[in-house]
Amino acid sequence: MNYDLDEFNMSEEELFSRVDHNNVDSEKITAPRYSYWHSVFRVFFKKKINIVILSILAVVILFTYVYPLFVEYDRFGNLMDATAKHLSPLTAMKQLGYNIHWILGTGASGQSTFDAVWFGSRISISLAFICAAINLTIGVLVGALWGFSKKVDIFMMEVYNIIGNVPYLLVISVILMLFGSNFWVMVMALTITGWLAIAFFIRTQVIIIRDREYNLASKCLGTSIVRIALKNILPFMTSVIVTIAATEIPSYIGYEVFLSYIGMGLSEMSLGRLIYEAESAMVTPGWGFEFWSPVVVSSIITVVLYVVGQNLGDASDPRTHM
């Protein structure tokens, strides 16, 4: 094929002159720089619904942890005042003053239902986050070791087959009956075997990713197991861990509410305890706010945490960053 050199606007000497070669420059990749977490948040905030849900979560966290710092909540402050008990929102505001404290009325002790709900939310949410942090930390570490080591795999499978078949609620109930029902006993009850199912799931995911071709090639080239785990496996496991957290945190709030509702939960004023103590108000005309307020707030908290976690888990998957 013949080419017309004039179309290049260059002389024959310029076209066929020697080009300097730089070994460093030749190794540079000209693709755009990739940031994992920047891509995660870019994908996450691309959905407008996530901004709305995140705003609701921010309001919940604000009322749960910041609002109680500026309020002097006394659960039994109006205990001796019979006229301050079981008041509807309108009656409470007319009788006790037009402010945010009485927007949900008063309870059986004359306390502000609004304040009680957010003080209870602080205990329930703190319990859920602590339990999730403990179970995820133990579960991920044990699961990773479980997936990489065949000796550990043999031992842990026997442990899982025995302990994993004991009903989780039965373990929790026995511990609460033996040691009481304070905050840290509840944490122990929810975490003593709660990490095992997480570890087994992580073990399965590690085995799937561990045996992929690029990991086997890295191992043959002498790459350490730690480096393979941090560079090749962890980025793919991040979305899995976030998704597990999205289901674990709301579930612990659910466990706390359920156990308190049947009389085995926390002795502290948690959401479950509020629902338990206001059970009779559910069927009493005019007292419904005492029961439904903590029910609605606990439902909003669990749904918001679940949706945020699930969408963040989806955004953490590197396959969605394309």
Extents of the domains making up the chain? 118-321
If you compute the radius of gyration of the chain from its CA atoms, what whole number of angstroms results? Answer: 29
The reported pLDDT for the residue numbered 52 is: 92
The reported pLDDT for the residue numbered 133 is: 94
Tens-place pLDDT, residues 218-233: 888 888 777 777 777 7
Residue 134 near residue 191 (C-beta atoms within 8 A) = yes
∠ at Cα 302 (297, 305), nearest 5°? 120
Domain spanning 118-321 has what CATH number?
Answer: 1.10.3720.10
Specify the DSSP class assigned to residue 33: P
The reported pLDDT for the residue numbered 187 is: 93
The reported pLDDT for the residue numbered 320 is: 77
Residues of the chain scoring pLDDT < 50 = none
Concatenate the DSSP letters of all residues of 270-283 into one string: -HHHHHHHTGGGGG
The reported pLDDT for the residue numbered 14 is: 63
